[in-house]
Amino acid sequence: MNYWNPYLETLPREAYDQIELSYFRKMFSFAKEHSALYREKLKGIEAEDIRSLDDLKKIPLTEKEEMRKYQEVEPFPYGGLLGSDIEKVTTFRQTSGTTGKPIYVPETYESWQWRVEAWCHILYMAGFRPRHRVFLPFGYNVYVAFWEAHFASEKVGCELVPGGALDTKGRIHKILEIRANGMMNTPTYGLHIAEEAKSMGIDPASLGIERMLCAGEPMPSATRKRLEELYQCHVFDHIGGTEPCAWAGMCEAKDGMHIIEPFFLVEILDRETLQKEVGEGEIGVVVVTPLGRRSFPLIRFNTKDLVIKGKNSCSCGRTSKKIKEVVGRTDDLRKVRGVLFSPKTVEEVLRKEFQEVEEFEIVVERRGLMDVITLRAEVNPQLPVSSIEQIKTRLQESLKIATNLSFNVIMEPPGSLPRYMLKAKRFKDLREGGKNE
């Protein structure tokens, strides 16, 4: 069978719209009644005012900043964001805090099961089946993504191997020892495991991984293809967040990502006005309403994810809406010397054209009146020293073409830049007012 839920995944478009509108209205009333944030925010608008999906525009977006404020009241630690009785909360999660104070996220047993079910769609769509023994090379701590992966793999019937409390070498030995054939990891850590395996004299392709599902960071398609080459396996992407859950995943066609409908009502809005839905092939900001999770009600949450809207059909036969590509985050877009810059463009160039670059960091600073953008790059230690100057020149040329900015390129000694397991922080804006993420 190709679908996790054959009925839900092949509904006609009109049915999705109808179901989502009806769920939205229910969630809207629930949020107004149970969450202090929405009691205040949605004053004056009633569920009856929402007669079509077009009426969603009447409802203000929910921003992360206001959620932080509402979290400071009782009951500790969830405050006015909690949608259920605090005694019904069974699991604590939190955001990573890369953009400010973390948000604490409560899950009741029912809400958690709802999240896991949505994740099963992502996993099944990526071809994970009961024959897979899936290695998770992390301790998951309080961060949600790999907990969802853990519980969803069990539900799909895979055999799950938690790989926390080991170093990278130990994890590589474990993969070989138990013959794991599936893995879920951040793209960065997938590359790092491959690098480490090579240094141990092990070809990453010989680890036996057939399928890899990436989480935790935006993944340029060049990085996905690089992982496929290194491990000689199929690599899939998905997108989501701690607050809205994982809301889209890649099917075996590997052509964009399917929105998990009707679990989520996803709008892709024009980034200037945040009002109008963009057309196919256009870039927009993603606004998500999870439609069945009541412990943490969210109405029109501004994810700040920028995506290109995809077409609504797929060779896999699923009928849900698609996104073509993840562009980055509105938080990461910066003006450098008057040019709009996204760090993801640099990663795309490096993974595609510069496989000898093993780690990198981008730093923007102001020197006098000038913005200076620097790429610190670390190359494979096996490369002859004579080729390093040449790589530096090629890097400057390719980055200029891709970003329209002149980069100051510094070649760093092997092992000098930090390595990341969960969220990589490779972009630093040190200018006054610039956010250092």
**Shortest distance, position 222 Cβ to Zn ion, whole Å:** 21
**Shortest distance, position 316 Cβ to Zn ion, whole Å:** 3
Please choose, from the candidates 37, 92, 43, the residue with its C-alpha nearest in 3D space to the C-alpha of residue 69: 37
Q: Which is nearer to Zn ion, 257 or 346 (CB)?
A: 257
**Shortest distance, position 245 Cβ to Zn ion, whole Å:** 20
Q: Which is nearer to Zn ion, 27 or 125 (CB)?
A: 125
Count of positions (residues) in the chain: 437
**Shortest distance, position 322 Cβ to Zn ion, whole Å:** 7
Residue 205 found at the interface with Zn ion (CB under 5 A): no
Binding span for Zn ion by CB under 5 A among 42-50, 246-254, 268-276, 280-288: 246-254
* DSSP-assigned letter for residue 49: G
Binders of Zn ion in range 76-115 (CB under 5 A): none
3-state secondary structure of 131: coil
How buried is residue 273: exposed, middle or buried, by Cβ count under 10 Å (0-12/13-18/19+)?
A: exposed
Q: Is the Cβ–Cβ distance between 212 and 190 less than 8 Å?
A: yes
Size of site (CB under 5 A) for Zn ion? 5
**Shortest distance, position 292 Cβ to Zn ion, whole Å:** 22
Among 59, 251, 326, 422, binds Zn ion (CB under 5 A): 251
3-state secondary structure of 302: strand
Q: Which is nearer to Zn ion, 226 or 318 (CB)?
A: 318
Residue 253 found at the interface with Zn ion (CB under 5 A): yes
Task: Please enumerate, as own/partner, the contacts of 410-416 that have beta carbons within 8 Å and a separation of 24 or more.
Answer: 410/374, 410/375, 410/376, 410/377, 411/377, 411/378, 411/379, 412/376, 412/377, 412/378, 413/378, 414/358, 414/378, 414/379, 414/380, 414/381, 415/378, 415/381, 416/378
Task: For Cα atoms 36, 240, 282, give the angle at the middle one, nearest 5 degrees.
Answer: 105
Q: Which is nearer to Zn ion, 144 or 307 (CB)?
A: 307
Among 61, 161, 166, 316, binds Zn ion (CB under 5 A): 316
**Shortest distance, position 250 Cβ to Zn ion, whole Å:** 8
Residue 314 found at the interface with Zn ion (CB under 5 A): yes
Residue 3 found at the interface with Zn ion (CB under 5 A): no
Q: Which is nearer to Zn ion, 144 or 246 (CB)?
A: 246
Q: Which is nearer to Zn ion, 297 or 310 (CB)?
A: 310
State the alpha helices, DSSP H only, in 359-431. 388-403
For residues 187 and 227, what is the distance between their CA atoms, to the nearest angstrom? Answer: 8
Cα 295 to its chain centre, rounded Å, is: 22
Q: Which is nearer to Zn ion, 237 or 378 (CB)?
A: 237
Binding stretches for Zn ion (CB under 5 A): 251, 253, 314, 316, 318
